[in-house]
Amino acid sequence: MNRILAGLAASTLLTGAATAQTLELEKDVLTFGFIKLTDMAPLAVAYEQGYFFDEGLFVTLEAQANWKVLLDGVIDGQLDGAHMLAGQPLAATIGYGTEAHIVTPFSMDLNGNGITVSNAVWEQMKPNIPENADGLPKHPISAEAMAPVVEEFGNRGERFNMGMVFPVSTHNYELRYWLAAGGIHPGYYGPENVTGQIDADVFLSVTPPPQMPATLEAGTIHGYCVGEPWNQQAVFKDIGVPVITDYEIWKNNPEKVFGLTAAFTEENPNTTIAVTKALIRAAMWLDENGNANRDEAVEILSRPEYVGADEEVIANSMTGTFEYEKGDTREVPDFNVFFRYNATYPFYSDAIWYLTQMRRWGQIEEAKDDGWYDEIARSVYKPAIYLEAARQLVDEGHAAESDFPWDSDGYRAPTPASDIIDGIPYDGRAPNAYLESLPIGLKGDQKIVGNEVQG
């Protein structure tokens, strides 16, 4: 009851001249799941600022132990929706791992991840990294700087282990992308070997985000890719150094989504629109006036019921800066983007990039034509729901007409070579041509048979 009253108070304070359209909600009491990462912020803000309540929604937010538990909770109905890895709805829909039709009407953010290595690995990498005039390392740092370290481990008969958060996570694909761009093979998945370590130079395994720093400190892994605040936590604990952000790997890359079952959206269309409206308003609040609300957002996220990390740690990346080594803090105003650059619009081309990476590393076993990629993207990403929510917000005076890409065909303009670390452009309309352009990874009719690439 206290949480409901808090939502009511916030709603009352925020009500302006325009009021929300009255939707006949099929379901108004909802439970949403999340993982303790700063990019769950739209959910926390929609709750704390009263945006859910404005839509007639009584929402409970529940932290989940890991991404599998979260996905299972949505599928079995314990959760009505959740902050998800963008790869989860796609993987579930095509039947990789758990099979279920999951959709998204809302992308939660751009960027927000980093790759961190242990202090020992960093000291071995530093001689291979050019310096700026001020003596600090020149960014972005290529994985080529880590290749001699990996080779030395191999010569000693040791595995070079790195952590990522889930097999279909952005973090897995970004880490693999960075490694491959530097000539380091991150390994394949096969039908009979789902470790993702076939033919690997570096061995990637799953570690839940909040456990990354402790696992690194214990020496179980030598580096990891994770969202914030767990890279900055390594800096504060003096146990590791973030070497690159995903903004430097692929400028303004898509990150998390808000996922629901297709059945939920079909049975509760007005509720789905209402939820999407509240999340859009939260994303706008997070980015408005040059990130003026970020300090307040940091305080919200630091609460134990949300991320639960120290405010100082969260603020290190959430407020437009990023600290690499201690004392090496640099301006990265777009490290976390929640609304700018149409961040919340569910673009088909974003979905297709994830599908290309699943194919690249063997999670999609057989070659697919370009039409298949488009078909799967359209079955999961739902811009029509998003635009209906946006239209209502504009009519209510909560958003401007210019805030949304009304005429989009669902595809972003191709990402230019200059925005990607390996200099290879990405066009979601041509997924197979893109796969052919990548020097490491499956191409054409190649597939994994046993522990070998054939074709």
Please indicate whether residue 299 or residue 22 has the higher confidence score (pLDDT): 299
Contacting residues for 414 by C-beta, under 8 A, at least 6 apart: 425, 426, 427, 428, 429
Query: Looking at the predicted structure, is the pLDDT value of residue 14 above 90?
Result: no
Q: Is the pLDDT reported for residue 1 higher than 70?
A: no
Q: Residue ranges per domain, the chain?
A: 2-111+255-346+381-403, 113-252
Residue with tokens 């994770």: 226
Question: Is residue 15 predicted with pLDDT exceeding 80?
Answer: no
Give the tokens for residue 109: 């953010």
Q: Read off the pLDDT of each residue in 175-198 and give the average, rounded to a whole number.
A: 97
Q: Which residues contact 249 (CB under 8 A, 6 or more apart)?
A: 140, 174, 177, 178, 181, 420, 421
The confidence score (pLDDT) of residue 3 equals 41
Weakest-pLDDT range from 13-27, 244-258, 325-339, 405-419: 13-27
What pTM, to 2 d.p., does this model score? 0.94
Mean local confidence (pLDDT), 316-336:
94
Q: In 251-320, where do the E strands start and end?
A: 257-261
Distance CA 10, CA 115 (A): 37
pLDDT at residue 20, rounded to an integer: 56
DSSP state of 161: E
Burial of 400: CB neighbours in 10 Å, binned 0-12, 13-18, 19+:
exposed
| Average pLDDT of the chain to the nearest whole number | 94
Start-to-end C-alpha separation, the chain: 61
Instruction: Give the C-alpha separation, 52 to 47, whole Å.
Output: 6
Residue 4 has pLDDT above 80, yes or no: no
Q: What is the DSSP letter of 60?
A: E
pLDDT at 153 over 70: yes
On the CB side of 124, how many CA atoms lie within 13 Å of its CA?
16
Length of the chain: 455
Residues with Cβ within 8 Å of 29's Cβ and at least 6 positions away in sequence, in order, are 58
Coil, helix or strand at residue 11: helix
What is the average per-residue pLDDT within 64-70?
Answer: 95
Q: Give the model's pLDDT for residue 22.
A: 74
* Beta carbons of 279 and 96 less than 8 angstroms apart: no
CATH architecture group of domain 113-252: 3-Layer(aba) Sandwich (3.40)
pLDDT, tens digit, 9 for 90 and up, residues 203-226: 999 999 999 999 999 999 999 999
Chain-centre distance for alpha carbon 312? 22
Which of 102-106, 330-334, 360-364, 422-426 is predicted with the least confidence, judged by mean pLDDT? 330-334
CATH of domain 2-111+255-346+381-403: 3.40.190.10
Which pLDDT belongs to residue 19? Answer: 52
Task: Confirm whether 2-111+255-346+381-403 and 113-252 share one CATH topology.
Answer: yes
pLDDT at residue 16, rounded to an integer:
39
The CA distances from residue 218 to 118, 199, 222, 223, in Å, are 10, 26, 9, 11
Name the nearest CA neighbour of 431 among 382, 363, 375: 375
pLDDT tens across 342-374, in order? Answer: 999 999 999 999 999 999 999 999 999 999 999
State yes or no: cis peptide before 304, omega within 30 of 0.
no
User: For residue range 77-120, what is the model confidence (pLDDT) as tens digits?
Assistant: 999 999 999 999 999 999 999 999 999 999 999 999 999 999 99
